[in-house]
A and B are shown apart, each in its own frame.
Chain A
Amino acid sequence: SQELEQSPQSLIVQEGKNLTINCTSSKTLYGLYWYKQKYGEGLIFLMMLQKGGEEKSHEKITAKLDEKKQQSSLHITASQPSHAGIYLCGADSSGTASKLTFGTGTRLQVTL
């Protein structure tokens, strides 16, 4: 089965600072999905990347897909307390998205 490793496992940053979360797959990536989860809540879809070199941005969050390295990064610019939560990457290794595999998450805390 596909292994997805996220790094770091947890992160504490001061408000206003930038940060990057990485997601590395042991298998070919046909699609990479980023989600955010707050305690006690479901997963909120952030972005989906499907093509090598693809980069998407939404507000202050940017995600990139490096197909050759089988890796994706999520970058947050000028972090805010509202960015706090657990960030999860999910990957499709079949090309059909029938069984997405998820990483164990990166817990982000943003201090004032």
Chain B
Amino acid sequence: GAGVSQSPSNKVTEKGKDVELRCDPISGHTALYWYRQSLGQGLEFLIYFQGNSAPDKSGLPSDRFSAERTGGSVSTLTIQRTQQEDSAVYLCASSLIAGGPLFFGPGTRLTVL
């Protein structure tokens, strides 16, 4: 496809379970970002990948959150032992180069019961 894709589009899980969210960036884009958007809140930066450089993990809210990017393309955001406060829309974005515009995916809506 032409744009950033994310899966699943919706995820409902029970408190304490682990979840994996997937992001397929636009082909050829070197930079990949994860953000989350909670109800009534702005976008919160989580993590940034740029090429083969070490990722900027400064936005991850706790050690329950981790992300990886395999082969410079697909990325997976993992949340372990989910909590109700993790409920949010998780957005992935990619850009051709650092400093270029970010193109966002449709997001994954995570609900932790």
Interface residues of A (CB under 8 A from B): 4, 31, 33, 35, 41-45, 48, 88, 90, 92, 96-105
Contact = CB atoms under 8 A, between A and B. Distances in A.
A58 B6 CA distance: 28
Given A45-B102, A100-B45, A102-B42, 17 more contacts: A4-B42, A31-B99, A33-B102, A42-B91, A42-B106, A42-B107, A43-B104, A90-B43, A90-B102, A97-B31, A97-B99, A98-B56, A99-B45, A99-B48, A100-B33, A100-B102, A101-B45
A73 B52 CA distance: 36
8 pairs of A and B residues whose beta carbons are closest in the complex: A102-B43, A104-B42, A43-B104, A97-B99, A42-B104, A42-B106, A48-B101, A45-B101
B58 interface: yes
B25 interface: no
Contacts of A99: 45, 48, 56, 58-59
Contacts, number: 55
Q: Chain B interface residue count: which class?
A: 20 to 34
Interface of B: 4, 31, 33, 35, 41-43, 45, 48, 50, 56, 58-59, 91, 93, 95, 98-107
B43 A88 contact: yes
Contacts of B35: 102
A47 to B, nearest CB: 8
6 contacts: A42-B4, A42-B107, A97-B95, A97-B98, A98-B56, A100-B45
